[in-house]
Amino acid sequence: MAKIIAVTQQKGGVGKSTITMHLGAAFHEMGRKVLVVDADKQTTLVHWSSTASTKGRMPFQIVNLSETGGEIHREIKKFISDYDLIIVDCPPSITEKISGIVLLAANVTVVPISSSPADYWSSIGLIKLIQQAQIMNKALKGVFLLNKTEEKRMLTRELKRSLKELGFPLLKTQIPTRECYKQAMALGQTVLQMTDRSSKLASAEIRACTNEISALLK
Ligand SMILES: Nc1ncnc2c1ncn2[C@@H]1O[C@H](COP(=O)(O)OP(=O)(O)OP(=O)(O)O)[C@@H](O)[C@H]1O
Ligand SMILES: [Mg+2]
């Protein structure tokens, strides 16, 4: 039976879709049977994967469930016995039903956050939603993932301190700002398929982050 990872954040543009697709690629590389679910009506992942040339196509399945609304958990359950992992890219909103419903079915929720104060403020609302889901879904674990970071900046250090106060763990691995993520999206690929120096560094970070999440699923 598949484990479910929900990638959630109220704030737009923090890297939910980027993280979802790269977790999919890294878990696939580890030999897991992966299904990536696009649950956001912007359908970023569907566009991203359709950009690929036939040769460079994503080596795992991507399904669009963004129009299923409050029924999304039933649609996800249809796939549960055919995969090891289902990774869901949630919409940038907690007022829509989708994120809350996916959280009720998920084992882990990964919350990408950058060093912008606006991301931190949005996370407070999301944490309440995660905590509500945890009343019904006791197995649900929540973790923050710092994305688009620049380590030496004060703000990142401040943010780490504040996140600790919110009581949700932060993955040790951070995903720095790297141009290769945008290139990967434009090419319909992930950084794991790219061979330039920046993509190699990015791939190592993505693999480390995936290993940390894999440990949380045990
Ligand atoms: N670590 C990173 N370094 C550089 N660019 C990044 C990184 N992570 C994401 N991006 C870029 O930031 C933009 C927003 O990322 P993405 O679409 O993944 O965010 P999102 O949270 O899914 O947005 P939305 O809320 O609109 O769904 C994209 O252009 C993406 O390529
Ligand atoms: Mg997105």
Task: Give per-residue pLDDT as tens, 87-142.
Answer: 999 999 877 789 999 999 999 999 999 888 888 888 888 999 999 999 999 999 99
The predicted pLDDT at position 70 comes to 92
pLDDT at 121: 87
DSSP bridge pairs for 4: 86
Mean pLDDT to the nearest integer, 150-171 = 79
Which residues lie closer than 8 Å to 133 by C-beta, 6 or more apart?
100, 103, 104, 106, 140
Q: What is the CA(40)–ligand 2 centre distance, in A?
A: 7
Q: Which atom belonging to ligand 1 lies closest to the Cα atom of 42?
A: 27
CA-nearest residue for atom 23, ligand 1, is 13
Q: Locate 55 and state its tokens.
A: 């040769």
Average pLDDT, the chain: 93
The Cα–Cα gap between 5 and 22 comes to: 13
Long-range Cβ pairs for the range 121-127 (8 Å, 24+):
122/9, 122/10, 122/11, 123/9, 123/10, 123/11, 123/163, 123/166, 124/166, 125/10, 125/94, 126/8, 126/9, 126/10, 126/94, 126/99, 127/166, 127/168
Q: Does 113 sit in the ligand 1 pocket, CB within 6 Å?
A: no
Do residues 107 and 2 lie in contact, with contact meaning Cβ atoms separated by under 8 Å? no
Q: How far apart are the first and last CA of the chain?
A: 13
Ligand 2 ion: nearby residues, β-carbon < 5 Å: 16-17, 44
Compute the chain's Rg from CA coordinates: 16
| CA of 184 relative to ligand 2 center, distance in Å | 15
Q: Is 17 a pocket residue for ligand 1 (Cβ < 6 Å)?
A: yes
The answer, yes or no, to whether residue 55 has pLDDT greater than 80, is no
CA 136 / ligand 1 centre spacing (Å): 31
pLDDT value of residue 82: 98
**What's the predicted TM-score (pTM) here?**
0.96
Token digits of residue 14: 């923090």
Q: Encode pLDDT of 8-33 as tens digits.
A: 999 999 999 999 999 999 999 999 99
Please say if the pLDDT value at position 161 is more than 90.
Answer: no
Which ligand 1 atom sits nearest the alpha carbon of residue 12? 25
